[in-house]
């Protein structure tokens, strides 16, 4: 006689348990989503509008001045305290005239800043200047005491956090343990009941163990052997094909450079820095003078750039590394001439026997950088997105249609090929993009 009821109930319990645990784990994330609202209290200025002032400051002054640090010109926070307004109007409208007139304060600044003349801004009205002064007179916002970075945690999916995985696994283990205990208890109870009821439990008849039976069945052994061999061949092949494929290679770089901040938050075009990608086979790692185009004036990151993982101090230290490498003295705002070229770790390593040309793909084909390099603008640490295997290249060449419009080079060949294949659009493969010698020479 068989009793089958138990089996069912166990699986039901299991399912219930898992559902329960999952539900708990999800709710545990809800408390993370508490946004920290750290808004600055606008400092009131006498009738002038600091918001307008900020706008004007950013468009006119920020190229040479910072609020709190020396740049090409002096730091401007609290400048109204250092000079009177009438003097400031004169200086801003025409600083060189003021210097020529022999004004002591003007000459002092002129001398202090390497005799660089400030551009005259006759177009700024006194009201505009008042607005700017109002903006520069704002108190420096205190660093938020709370940890604002918590807000940055993304949408919770459960599977992106190591903690939740552990909780689930722990819960499952507990459930399993409980089941084992319950089964044992049930078994012992049933045995007891049977004993009490006087039911004879049939002693186990010694049968041939399953492994012996298996070993005796030659057909099964053969099939299993073949199966195992095939399976191992499959895995070995899979393993070997991974050799030399460095997808997701994410080395530690000498300077922690965040593409997320540059290409993501600040939306700097990829080709601003990697300008060689347009014309050369190499995309080119930007030379440090390209960095200094902006970083001459950006010596530190904004408070809001910092994340729980990387503090502001950490980022500022990275910018300092750039200054050390390029030989920029922040204090004197000048190059010292002592340079230390940065030894970046190369991430995308194509073998020597492959010829790849960026300009062909970027300029001629107009392919977005992200197609091969992934969502770089989200990468805090740059990594290799694509496998860079031949199969990967070939697949793309097979399905990508060549952009031929407006390129006189393709006019004739397009006409001839489209007639030959009877299609209007041609893939790179149809253009001969699968021939060995196109990439291997």
Partner 1 sequence: MSSNKKYWKSVEELENGSIVEALRNNEFVEAIPTDEFLGNDDAMSSSSTSRRDFLKYVGFSTAAATLAACEGPVNKSIPYVLQPEQIIPGVADYYATSVFDGFDFANLLVKTREGRPIKIDNNTIAGAKFAANARIHASILSLYDNMRLKQPMIDGKDSSWSAVDAKIKTSLAEAKSTGGQVVLLTNTLASPSTEKLISEFISLNPSAKHVVYDAVSSSEALDAFESVYGERALVDYDFSKASLIVSIGADFLGDWQGGGYDSGYAKGRIPQNGKMSRHFQLEANMTLSGAAADKRLAMTVANQKQALVQIYNIVTGASVPVSLDAKFKTDVTKAGQQLKAAGANGVLVSGIQDKNAQLLVLAINQALSSSAYSTAGVRQIRKGSNEKVAQLLQDMKAGSVHTLLMSGVNPVYTLADSAMFVDGLKKVKTSVAFSTKEDETASLTTIAAAVPHYLESWGDLSLTKGSYSLTQPTIRPLFDTKQFQEVLMSLNGTAGSYYDYLKGASASVMAGTTWNKVLHDGIVVSESAGLSGGSADFSGAAASLAQSKPSKGFELVLYTKTGMGDGQQANNPWLQEFPDPITRVSWDNYVTVSNADAKELGLSNEIVANGGLNGSYANLTTAGGLKLENVPVIVQPGQAVGTIGLSLGYGRKAAMKEEMMVGVNAYSLYKGFNELQAVTLEKASGEHEFASVQGQKTLMGRGDIIKETTLEIFNTKDAKVWNEVPMVSLNHEEVAGTTVDLWDSFDRSVGHHFNLSIDLNACTGCGACVIACHAENNVPVVGKSEVRRSRDMHWLRIDRYYSSESTFAEDNERKDNIAGLSSSLSTFNEMEKAGDNPQVSFQPVMCQHCNHAPCETVCPVAATSHSRQGQNHMAYNRCVGTRYCANNCPYKVRRFNWFLYNKNSEFDYHMNDDLGRMVLNPDVNVRSRGVMEKCSMCIQMTQATILNAKREGRSIVDGEFQTACSNACSTGAMVFGDVNDNQSKVTKLAADDRMYHLLEHVGTKPNVIYHVKVRNT
CA distances from 263 to 266, 277, 283, 291 (A): 6, 16, 16, 13
* Burial class of residue 98, CB neighbours in 10 A (0-12, 13-18, 19+): buried
Tell me, what DSSP letter sits at residue 247? T
| Cβ-based neighbours of 386, under 8 Å, separated by 6 or more | 247, 372, 373, 374, 392
Residue 346: HSE in the Cβ half-sphere, 13 Å Cα cutoff: 7
Distance of alpha carbon 327 from alpha carbon 335, whole angstroms? 5
Among 285, 294, 302, 423, binds partner 1 (CB under 8 A): 285
Residue 413 in the binding site for partner 1 (CB under 8 A):
yes
Residue 250 in the binding site for partner 1 (CB under 8 A):
no
Tokens encoding 290: 């390209």
Residue 238 in the binding site for partner 1 (CB under 8 A):
no
Residue 408 in the binding site for partner 1 (CB under 8 A):
yes
Tokens encoding 304: 């809001």
Among 341, 366, 391, 422, binds partner 1 (CB under 8 A): 341
Among 186, 279, 302, 423, binds partner 1 (CB under 8 A): 279
Residue 425 in the binding site for partner 1 (CB under 8 A):
no
If the CB atoms of residues 258 and 382 are measured against partner 1, the closer one turns out to be 382
Stretch that binds partner 1, among 64-72, 159-167, 185-193, 276-284 (CB under 8 A): 276-284
CB-based contact 344:254 (threshold 8 Å): yes
Residue 297 in the binding site for partner 1 (CB under 8 A):
no
Residue 428 in the binding site for partner 1 (CB under 8 A):
no
The count of other CB atoms within 10 Å of the CB of residue 34 is 10
Stretch that binds partner 1, among 63-71, 167-175, 199-207, 409-417 (CB under 8 A): 409-417
If the CB atoms of residues 50 and 433 are measured against partner 1, the closer one turns out to be 433
Residue 244 in the binding site for partner 1 (CB under 8 A):
yes
If the CB atoms of residues 160 and 435 are measured against partner 1, the closer one turns out to be 435
Among 355, 368, 371, 378, binds partner 1 (CB under 8 A): 355
| Enclosing H/E stretch for 418 | helix 408-421
Distance of alpha carbon 415 from alpha carbon 421, whole angstroms? 10
Distance of alpha carbon 320 from alpha carbon 235, whole angstroms? 48
Distance of alpha carbon 308 from alpha carbon 148, whole angstroms? 8
Residue 230 Cβ vs partner 1, minimum distance, rounded to whole Å: 25
Residue 304 in the binding site for partner 1 (CB under 8 A):
no
CB-based contact 416:410 (threshold 8 Å): no
Stretch that binds partner 1, among 7-15, 56-64, 187-195, 402-410 (CB under 8 A): 402-410
CB-based contact 356:372 (threshold 8 Å): no
Distance of alpha carbon 405 from alpha carbon 426, whole angstroms? 12
Residue 413 Cβ vs partner 1, minimum distance, rounded to whole Å: 5
* CA 56 to chain CA centroid, nearest Å: 32
CB-based contact 347:383 (threshold 8 Å): yes
Stretch that binds partner 1, among 34-42, 60-68, 288-296, 305-313 (CB under 8 A): 288-296
Residue 257 Cβ vs partner 1, minimum distance, rounded to whole Å: 12
Output the CA angle 375-381-383, nearest 5 degrees.
60
Stretch that binds partner 1, among 30-38, 188-196, 238-246, 374-382 (CB under 8 A): 238-246
CB-based contact 134:53 (threshold 8 Å): yes
Stretch that binds partner 1, among 1-9, 155-163, 213-221, 352-360 (CB under 8 A): 352-360
Residue 351 in the binding site for partner 1 (CB under 8 A):
yes
Residue 437 in the binding site for partner 1 (CB under 8 A):
yes
Residue 183 Cβ vs partner 1, minimum distance, rounded to whole Å: 44
Residue 284 in the binding site for partner 1 (CB under 8 A):
yes
Among 263, 270, 301, 326, binds partner 1 (CB under 8 A): 326
Name the nearest CA neighbour of 302 among 154, 131, 147, 141. 141
If the CB atoms of residues 208 and 339 are measured against partner 1, the closer one turns out to be 339
Residue 289 in the binding site for partner 1 (CB under 8 A):
yes
If the CB atoms of residues 45 and 325 are measured against partner 1, the closer one turns out to be 325
Binding residues for partner 1, rule: CB under 8 A, are 243-244, 246, 251, 276, 279-282, 284-290, 325-327, 339, 341-346, 349, 351-353, 355, 357-360, 363-364, 406-413, 416-417, 420, 431-432, 435-438, 440-441
């Amino acid at each position: 006689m068989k009793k089958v009821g138990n089996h069912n109930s166990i699986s039901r319990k299991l399912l219930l348990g898992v559902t329960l645990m999952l539900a708990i784990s999800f709710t545990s994330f809800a408390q993370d989503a508490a946004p920290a609202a750290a808004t600055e209290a606008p400092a009131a200025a006498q009738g002038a509008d600091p918001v307008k002032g900020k706008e004007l400051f950013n468009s006119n002054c920020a190229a040479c001045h910072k609020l709190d640090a020396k740049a090409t010109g002096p730091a401007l926070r609290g400048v109204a305290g250092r000079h009177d307004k009438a003097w400031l109007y004169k200086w801003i409208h025409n600083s060189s005239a003021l210097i020529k007139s022999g004004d002591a304060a003007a000459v002092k600044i002129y001398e202090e800043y390497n005799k660089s003349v400030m551009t005259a801004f006759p177009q700024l009205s006194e009201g505009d200047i008042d607005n700017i002064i109002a903006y520069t007179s704002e108190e420096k916002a205190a660093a938020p005491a709370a940890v604002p970075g918590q807000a940055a945690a993304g949408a919770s999916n459960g599977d992106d956090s190591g903690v939740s995985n552990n909780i689930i696994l722990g819960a499952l283990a507990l459930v399993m343990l409980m089941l084992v205990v319950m089964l044992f208890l049930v078994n012992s109870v049933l045995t007891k009941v049977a004993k009490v009821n006087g039911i004879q439990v049939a002693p186990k008849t010694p049968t041939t163990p399953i492994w012996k039976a298996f070993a005796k069945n030659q057909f099964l052994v053969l099939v299993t052997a073949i199966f195992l061999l095939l399976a191992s061949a499959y895995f070995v092949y899979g393993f070997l094909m991974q050799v030399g494929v460095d997808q997701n290679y994410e080395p530690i770089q000498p300077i922690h450079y965040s593409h997320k901040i540059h290409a993501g938050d600040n939306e700097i075009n990829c080709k601003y820095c990697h300008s060689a990608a347009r014309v050369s086979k190499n995309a080119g790692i930007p030379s440090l003078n390209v960095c200094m185009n902006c970083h001459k004036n950006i010596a530190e990151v904004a408070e809001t750039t910092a994340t729980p993982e990387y503090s502001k101090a950490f980022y500022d230290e990275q910018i300092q590394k750039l200054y050390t490498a390029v030989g920029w003295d922040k204090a004197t705002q000048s190059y010292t001439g002592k340079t230390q070229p940065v030894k970046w770790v190369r991430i995308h390593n194509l073998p020597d026997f492959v010829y790849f040309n960026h300009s062909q793909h970027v300029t001629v084909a107009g392919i977005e950088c992200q197609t091969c390099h992934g969502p770089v603008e989200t990468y805090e640490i740059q990594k290799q997105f694509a496998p860079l295997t031949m199969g990967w290249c070939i697949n793309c060449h097979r399905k990508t249609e060549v952009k031929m419009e407006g390129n006189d080079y393709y006019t004739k060949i397009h006409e001839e090929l489209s007639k030959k294949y009877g299609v209007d659009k041609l893939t790179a493969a149809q253009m001969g993009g699968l021939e060995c010698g196109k990439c291997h020479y």
